[in-house]
Amino acid sequence: MNPENAVELVGVDILYDTTALHFDCAVASGGIVAVAGASGSGKSTLFHVIAGFEEPDRGEVRILGKTMSGQAPSERPVSVIFQDNNLFAHLDIATNVGFGISPSLRLSTGDRVRIDDALGRVGLDRFGKRLPSTLSGGERQRVALARALVRHRPLLLLDEPFAALDPGMRSGMRALLRDLHEQENNTILMITHHPDDVRALADSVLFLDQGRIIAHDPVERFLERRDVAAINRFLGNE
Ligand SMILES: Nc1ncnc2c1ncn2[C@@H]1O[C@H](COP(=O)(O)OP(=O)(O)OP(=O)(O)O)[C@@H](O)[C@H]1O
């Protein structure tokens, strides 16, 4: 057990009716890790297990050296941002960010300052009173980032955060994520289908194939790999 590791998956088995997944890995604290692999390879399941939405049939999840067995998602030191950003449509942006601090929305004056600060850090200072429907897709993703920021959890899981964004917005979001990562000093795991995200953002790569982690490499080494067909397909080498 190593507290320097942000995440350890030790002999984790997930047994579904038609498929079985197995995860073993140790992710060091402090980096941005791209999680890649073909559709159906197990990326979302990996996140669900770490975040606690899914309990392993066997094995153990550890975060910062502590076992997560029996710990509900809300008790884990993890924030998750899904692709569709899960904002409440009837609540304004500041209140949506406030959910990151208190799900019952009992917010102190200090909390409101933190919310304004987080919105400022993602470039949405004057958006607090607006409803999610009046924002662009990229702006909504930045609200989801602000909601994660106010929680200050050491581990941030991003499930394809740029999927709905056009190329210009993607590069803006990458830069923002890099800045926030440096400020927060957290560990980020980010599912992506885009080699460009890996090249631009990742320090290392977890690559999944058919329910297993088949590569866990520093990014430079990963980008030079030519030995595995699934990685070649991802990198566009064939
Ligand atoms: N609740 C479930 N019950 C049964 N099988 C499941 C369940 N969740 C996932 N699976 C199966 O586990 C495998 C991995 O699915 P998962 O969603 O983790 O893949 P993924 O890599 O995230 O795919 P995508 O890139 O398409 O989102 C798939 O074969 C899927 O059908």
- Convert the pLDDT of each residue in 113-154 to its tens digit: 999 999 998 889 999 999 999 998 888 988 998 998 888 899
Distance 50 CA to ligand 1 centre (A): 15
Q: Is the pLDDT of residue 227 over 60?
A: yes
Which ipTM score applies to this complex? 0.97
CATH number at 5-235: 3.40.50.300
Distance 41 CA to ligand 1 centre (A): 7
- CB of 39 within 6 A of ligand 1: the answer is yes
Nearest atom (ligand 1) to Cα of 193: 25
pLDDT for the residue numbered 1: 57
SS (H, E, C) the chain: CCCCEEEEEEEEEEECCCCEEEEEEEEECCCEEEEEECCCCCHHHHHHHHHCCCCCCEEEEEECCEECCCCCHHHCCEEEECCCCCCCCCCCHHHHHHCCCCCCCCCCHHHHHHHHHHHHHCCCHHHCCCCHHHCCHHHHHHHHHHHHHCCCCCEEEEECCCCCCCHHHHHHHHHHHHHHHHHHCCEEEEECCCHHHHHHHCCEEEEEECCEEEEEEEHHHHHHCCCCHHHHHHHCCC
Q: What is the mean pLDDT of residues 223-236?
A: 96
- CB of 16 within 6 A of ligand 1: the answer is yes
Q: Is the pLDDT of residue 193 over 80?
A: yes
- CB of 65 within 6 A of ligand 1: the answer is no
- CB of 192 within 6 A of ligand 1: the answer is no
Distance 45 CA to ligand 1 centre (A): 6
